[in-house]
Chains A and B, each alone.
Chain A
């Protein structure tokens, strides 16, 4: 798969229009890597002039910040900003709502001002510019429910672009009882992904999976690699792997378009 890096581009004297910020999950986590690849396939299909930082990318510091380590966060942020500004990056797209939120909202006051898109927003723009069409036949008739990632939805009020894309796939979009601004967290945010939950009587991802299962879906659509992991684990816990799959919207689009 051809994924150009900013360094390569620079060596060839090129300045790509947009940087794809892959994020730690999208780079290392086996499940999330598939989302990164699906998204790159979409970028290729729409002939988007993009590049990644590759080995020059580092953690945005989101998890450190939400764990309370403002020092580590700001060190990461300033290092990243130095690299990004060095390449004169203007536009960034990412499949990770946590990177999205941090780059968009928390980097500006530290000197990193970019136009930041979540991949669902970016794909929606490609469609409205006529650079991409979604095949609405492949997945036709499937029941899909969308789990709003907290850092995309409540944190940044992005509720519509993921739904718009899902609807364009010709599927049957059903809403969970808690959705949009009242959606329940998958349990991974605020650095919870990296530690065991406190003592309680249930895991959050199981409760959220129950919300999703109530809609009797074939597919649980996600827009965040961490939500994806949490919901996948929830489905395993409920032993529903045979009936329900968890897929990122980028994966659904790549699948529909036969990429």
Chain B
């Protein structure tokens, strides 16, 4: 019977981890629904971006207040994982504070002391985050797309963090031998007096309860990630690594279009020539994107990585002037639709069955797409290098090239370019008149 806790612990751990692995595999499958794009070049530059932006949080601190708080929570998260390793070993082998013996009192005390301070700081930071989200009127937390789940999701995570930090500190405070040793109880020594009247058994029960809820909480948190914007704590790393490295103004030149344009412009091309081998059964290329599978895998990875922070939206000129467009919503819609497609595939034994829906119209309206000035403010702002503009552009391409559904004035502009070589209706022969005037 004495092994029962260890067995229960092992089972809980295995269950938590396998559920997590299952979801991660689903995530990878969904991302792979996207088109291929080569992001394996310039490895040193990619690595540097990842280290600076994801690990070093260099873009977070551009907004100093939230940036600073975020760094505390982030450090807390990374460092406390060392504590989690100890908990897992203790849990599996029935030991108690195994690292204390291994590392020696000095080092162990120092580490735990630091963890306790961090835990307290994280608690404070999380409370401030909660106040920002729920009490202060910060516009980007009040947008339309932040109602319901996205709002609750943000808060749930803050509550979980508060509870986890409290449990960690109370656990230490009620660990009698730990308090007596007086090493590393920087914060918990001030909590311990609250439990002065408790019997040793009572204290032990509280300590054990905290320990169990703490580790089970962490497993729940791990599995909550997949359903939450908090997935970014994992995906920020690949996302910054695979991000676009070209100048922001450089849009892709669609290769499928290049081939056709070359054929059109080549006077020697024979339109009736037999196509090269294999070409006849190639699926006719769809120009632009109307659904998630038309986007590339980096754009889909972007969607899963989005933290819904709204920095993009709060700098978007269209959004600032009251237009429907919100780059954050573009990312959230893309993820929602991708999840829907994923569930569809799961329900239909691995194949997608047309559900009569798509990203365009059902999630993102043409009105949103046409409001974008392609200014790249959203791309610049995103703390994890997400590129909402690329999705907007791919969907515009679909609207124009597949549906000829551009606003009337843009059709006129394009006709003018085609006929006169300028967006306005002027004669190309007058193109040098400016030099003769004045």
Chain A residues within CB distance 8 Å of chain B: 1, 3, 5, 22, 24, 26-29, 33-34, 36-37, 40, 52, 54-55, 57-59, 61, 63-72, 74-79, 101, 104-106, 109-110, 150-151, 154-157, 181-185, 187-204, 207-208
Contacts and interface: CB of A to CB of B under 8 A. Distances in A.
A191 B410 contact: yes
- Across the A-B interface, give the 4 residue pairs with the lowest CB-CB distance, nearest first: A155-B249, A190-B374, A58-B421, A68-B396
A67 B432 contact: no
B273 interface: no
5 contacts: A28-B424, A28-B426, A70-B254, A155-B250, A189-B374
B355 interface: no
Contact of A72 (B396, B412, B414, B432): B414
Interface in B312-326: 315, 317-318, 320-325
Given A3-B435, A36-B434, A198-B318, A185 B377 contact: yes
B288 interface: yes
Given A70-B257, A72-B414, A181-B380, A24 B423 contact: yes
Interface of B: 246-251, 253-254, 257-258, 260-262, 264-265, 287-288, 315, 317-318, 320-325, 367, 370-377, 379-381, 393, 396-401, 406-407, 409-410, 412-414, 417-418, 421-424, 426, 428-438
Contact of A200 (B323, B399, B434): B323
A192 B372 CA distance: 8
B321 A204 contact: yes
Contact of B251 (A29, A37, A65, A194): A65
B417 A150 contact: no
B438 A151 contact: no
A27 B376 contact: no
Nearest to A191: B410
Contact of B248 (A55, A64, A155): A155
Given A68-B288, A150-B373, A1 B435 contact: yes
A55 B432 CA distance: 6
A62 B185 CA distance: 64
A122 to B, nearest CB: 18
B287 A187 contact: no
A47 B257 CA distance: 42
B314 to A, nearest CB: 11
A197 B319 CA distance: 12
Contact of B253 (A59, A74, A203): A74
A6 to B, nearest CB: 11
B414 A52 contact: no
Contact of A154 (B370, B371, B372, B380): B380
